[in-house]
């Protein structure tokens, strides 16, 4: 049914690109650290180096990986089977979101009962949303209500739900699909479209209608990377542009953190740049991520030895089980934060809790990898490294 493009077929033949797993694992680690607010280690995560943060890495790589995985299923077994697989994944994500919602609710309820400080009565009004559980639970099940830090899976769910359409497009005309996505992104910004949230009159913090642009960009790169590469100017032009932009972004971000640097930021430039909206995936954030990705991909080649070193392996394995690791990471960040707050802990303990959390996430990933090996053992001992069989795709 679908005619694979040259490059789509070529990328499938090469087998799994470990860079995807490695950087997705890194994004998961950053998201875990960022979700423990009382932690000095999160000063070293990617969000402090420029406009974009771990969310962009996660969304782009999700698009890239979805295109590579479901694109290959489509080539081997047809569009319908690929769509069925996508929908199964969407259901898994939905269940994961509801589990995390229950955990977050338990935490909020516990804090509200224990921490009755009149000084923060206004902040604790957040608990009022649970005065009417029948409303809030329904809104959560409808994915309209997202407690703080639980807003990225709903985004991913909507993006993946739209993936059958995206896949249909990129399998035929990848660059046209990208152009349609960009036009839609522009329209979303022009008309201020977003999905409705809860409480009433609010919108989604991660606007899927805007973030689809990065997801589709990832998918196009994942399915037709060679086409994109041919279309771009060479590294002699691209690399300096990217580096200059990254340095510029770094300097701007530093003026937010160190008030003395404020004078370096002329008002007119602020007027041009701000607000650098995360909700609508501001174009500056989009460009910043692409610049970062370009420079990274330029220096970290697909078969770089480093990715096969033992030291890189924990990140690679985490990246290969991203959904489960993400969910457990979210739970562990709640738990880790709770421990740090109870102990009013210093930097050493913050370090200890962070490493313990990362170690548990990694341990889970290794257990899951082991399960996969065990379960597929009767079927000719296939391991995740095995390249997909490509017989049917030639039809």
Return residues touching another protein (CB under 8 A).
Answer: 35, 37-38, 107-108, 111, 114-126, 147-149, 197, 199, 202-203, 205, 254-256, 258-265, 267, 270-271, 274-280, 334, 337, 340-342, 344
What b/e readout covers 163-202, taking b as 16+ CB neighbours within 10 angstroms?
Answer: bbebbbbbbeebeebbeebeebbeebbeeeebeebbeeee
Nearer CB in complex with another protein: 300/351? 351
- The distance of closest approach from Cβ of residue 95 to another protein in the complex, given in angstroms and rounded to an integer, is 23
Nearer CB in complex with another protein: 174/197? 197
Nearer CB in complex with another protein: 133/199? 199
- The distance of closest approach from Cβ of residue 298 to another protein in the complex, given in angstroms and rounded to an integer, is 28
Long-range Cβ contacts of 381-384 (<8 Å, 24+ apart): 384/16, 384/320
Nearer CB in complex with another protein: 163/204? 204
As given in the structure block, the two tokens for residue 174 are 């990848």
Q: What is the DSSP letter of 240?
A: H
Which residue has 């059958």 as its token pair?
Answer: 164
Nearer CB in complex with another protein: 25/197? 197
- The distance of closest approach from Cβ of residue 70 to another protein in the complex, given in angstroms and rounded to an integer, is 32
Q: DSSP readout, 174-211?
A: HHHHHHHHHHHHHHHHHHT---B-SSTT-B-SS-HHHH
Q: Phi, psi at residue 383, to the nearest 5°?
A: -115, 165
**Residue closest to 366 by CA, chosen among 326, 334, 321:** 321
Nearer CB in complex with another protein: 116/229? 116
Nearer CB in complex with another protein: 124/323? 124
- The distance of closest approach from Cβ of residue 31 to another protein in the complex, given in angstroms and rounded to an integer, is 14
Q: What are the residues facing 196 on neighbouring strands?
A: 203
- The distance of closest approach from Cβ of residue 147 to another protein in the complex, given in angstroms and rounded to an integer, is 7
Q: What are the residues facing 203 on neighbouring strands?
A: 196
Which residue has 């423990």 as its token pair?
Answer: 36
Nearer CB in complex with another protein: 120/371? 120
- The distance of closest approach from Cβ of residue 251 to another protein in the complex, given in angstroms and rounded to an integer, is 8
- The distance of closest approach from Cβ of residue 210 to another protein in the complex, given in angstroms and rounded to an integer, is 12
- The distance of closest approach from Cβ of residue 292 to another protein in the complex, given in angstroms and rounded to an integer, is 19
What whole-number distance in Å separates Cα of residue 226 and Cα of residue 298? Answer: 14
What whole-number distance in Å separates Cα of residue 257 and Cα of residue 251? Answer: 10
Asked if 340 contacts 311 with a C-beta cutoff of 8 angstroms, the reply is: no
């Amino acid at each position: 049914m679908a005619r694979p493009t040259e490059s789509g077929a070529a990328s499938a033949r090469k087998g799994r690109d470990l860079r995807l797993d490695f950087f997705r694992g890194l994004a998961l680690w950053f998201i875990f650290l960022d979700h423990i607010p009382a932690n000095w280690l999160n000063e070293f995560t990617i969000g402090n180096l420029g406009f974009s943060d771990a969310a962009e890495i996660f969304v782009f790589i999700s698009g890239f990986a979805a295109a590579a995985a479901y694109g290959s299923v489509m080539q081997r077994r047809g569009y319908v089977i690929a769509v069925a697989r996508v929908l199964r994944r969407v259901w898994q994500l939905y269940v994961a979101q509801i589990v995390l919602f229950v955990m977050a609710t338990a935490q909020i309820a516990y804090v509200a009962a224990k921490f009755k400080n009149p000084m923060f009565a206004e902040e604790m009004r957040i608990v009022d949303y649970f005065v009417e559980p029948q409303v809030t639970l329904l809104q959560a099940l409808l994915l309209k209500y997202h407690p703080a830090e639980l807003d990225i899976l709903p985004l991913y769910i909507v993006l993946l739900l739209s993936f059958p359409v995206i896949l249909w497009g990129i399998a035929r005309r990848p660059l046209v699909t990208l152009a349609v996505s960009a036009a839609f992104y522009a329209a979303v910004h022009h008309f201020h479209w977003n999905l409705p949230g809860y409480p009433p009159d609010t919108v989604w913090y991660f606007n899927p209608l805007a973030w689809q642009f990065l997801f589709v960009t990832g998918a196009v790169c994942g399915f037709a990377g060679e086409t994109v590469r041919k279309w771009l100017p060479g590294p002699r032009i691209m690399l300096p542009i990217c580096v200059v932009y990254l340095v510029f972004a770094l300097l701007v971000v530093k003026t937010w953190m160190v008030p003395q640097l404020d004078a370096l930021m002329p008002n007119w430039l602020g007027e041009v740049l701000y607000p650098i909206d995360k909700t609508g995936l501001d174009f500056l954030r989009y460009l910043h991520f692409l610049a970062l990705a370009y420079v990274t991909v330029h220096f970290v080649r697909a078969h770089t030895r480093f990715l096969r070193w033992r030291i890189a392996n924990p990140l690679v394995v985490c990246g290969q089980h991203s959904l489960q690791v993400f969910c457990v990471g979210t739970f562990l960040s709640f738990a880790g934060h709770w421990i740090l707050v109870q102990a009013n802990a210093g930097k050493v303990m913050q370090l200890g809790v962070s490493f313990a959390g990362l170690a548990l996430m990694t341990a889970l990933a290794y257990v899951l990898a082991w399960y996969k090996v065990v379960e597929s053992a009767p079927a000719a001992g296939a391991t995740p490294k095995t390249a997909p069989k490509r017989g049917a795709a030639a039809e």
